[in-house]
């Protein structure tokens, strides 16, 4: 009976040990599974964080690129067309050009007054003349004298008008940026010549005859 009791105790101890081992194995498996799940979750979180960072960087780069493109487009849109201001010749400084422009306007006003005055004098010679008292023949010189004076006035008035045309031609060159450039050689006309003849079209060696084009 003692032997049976001893055997029963040993069997019970063995079953307890086996159960403990099973519980330990089950606990280790659960811990391993938990560790594996935790590791998988951490890997998934890291991947999600990396994807988020990549998306953020891509969005930022795209936004920067869009902003730069918009800025470039805006700059291109705001690029000024042609300025309404007169172009300036690179051969002369702005101070000299402004001086010559004022001189040309002053000369134009002078010639315009002369032309009007000369035409008025020519007209007055006709109005003051009495056709019944004046004989326009070879024996009487009075008619010839009046005719000569009138013809001279009209000729001078025409010359003054030619000068105005030359001055207007010179003034248009300020807007084109070609004032003071020889129309024959394309070289700059010396400032001394321009100061003497502001409407000069060419250098002295290329000048042609005529009242206006000196």
pLDDT value for 72: 47
Segments forming the whole domain that contains residue 188: 94-206
DSSP state of 205: G
| Higher pLDDT, residue 182 or 18 | 182
Give pLDDT tens digits for 58-87: 555 555 555 555 554 444 444 444 444 445
Q: Is residue 147 part of a domain?
A: yes
Partners of 181 in beta bridges: 188
Distance from C-alpha of 200 to C-alpha of 193, rounded to nearest angstrom:
8
> Above 70 in pLDDT, residue 135?
no
Q: Is residue 42 part of a domain?
A: no
Burial environment of residue 214 by CB neighbours within 10 A (0 to 12, 13 to 18, 19 or more): middle
CB 143 within 8 A of CB 171: no
| Higher pLDDT, residue 69 or 188 | 188
> Above 70 in pLDDT, residue 122?
yes
pLDDT value for 20: 58
CB 134 within 8 A of CB 143: yes
The total of structural domains in the chain comes to 1
Give pLDDT tens digits for 110-120: 999 999 999 99
Q: Which residue has the tokens 């470039």?
A: 72
Distance from C-alpha of 213 to C-alpha of 53, rounded to nearest angstrom:
78
Q: How confident is the model at residue 211 (pLDDT cuts 50, 70, 90)?
A: very low
Q: Is residue 25 part of a domain?
A: no
Q: Which residues contact 206 (CB under 8 A, 6 or more apart)?
A: 182, 184, 185
Q: Is residue 72 part of a domain?
A: no
Q: At 169, list the tokens.
A: 């031609």
For residue 122, the domain's CATH number is: 1.20.120.910
Q: Is the pTM of this model over 0.95?
A: no
pLDDT value for 84: 41
Q: Is residue 181 part of a domain?
A: yes
Q: Is residue 102 part of a domain?
A: yes
| Higher pLDDT, residue 17 or 132 | 17
Partners of 188 in beta bridges: 181
Q: At what angle do helices 142-176 and 94-128 cross, to 10 degrees?
A: 160
Q: Is residue 114 part of a domain?
A: yes
Q: Is residue 10 part of a domain?
A: no
Q: How confident is the model at residue 212 (pLDDT cuts 50, 70, 90)?
A: very low
pLDDT value for 116: 95
């Amino acid at each position: 009976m003692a032997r049976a009791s001893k055997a029963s105790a040993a069997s019970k101890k063995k079953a307890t040990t086996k159960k403990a081992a099973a519980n330990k194995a089950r606990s280790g498996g659960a811990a391993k599974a938990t560790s594996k799940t935790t590791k998988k979750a951490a890997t998934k979180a890291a991947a999600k964080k990396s994807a988020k960072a990549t998306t953020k960087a891509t969005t930022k780069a795209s936004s920067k690129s869009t902003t730069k493109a918009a800025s470039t487009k805006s700059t291109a849109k705001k690029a000024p067309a042609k300025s309404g201001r007169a172009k300036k010749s690179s051969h002369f400084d702005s101070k000299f050009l402004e001086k010559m422009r004022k001189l040309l306007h002053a000369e134009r006003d002078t010639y315009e007054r002369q032309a009007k005055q000369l035409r008025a004098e020519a007209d007055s010679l006709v109005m003051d003349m009495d056709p019944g008292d004046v004989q326009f023949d070879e024996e009487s010189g009075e008619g010839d004298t009046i005719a000569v004076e009138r013809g001279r006035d009209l000729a001078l008035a025409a010359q003054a008008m030619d000068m105005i045309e030359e001055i207007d031609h010179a003034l248009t060159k300020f807007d084109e940026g070609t004032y003071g450039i020889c129309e024959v050689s394309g070289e700059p006309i010396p400032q001394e010549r321009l100061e003497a003849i502001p409407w000069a079209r060419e250098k002295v060696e290329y000048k042609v005859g005529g009242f206006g084009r000196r």
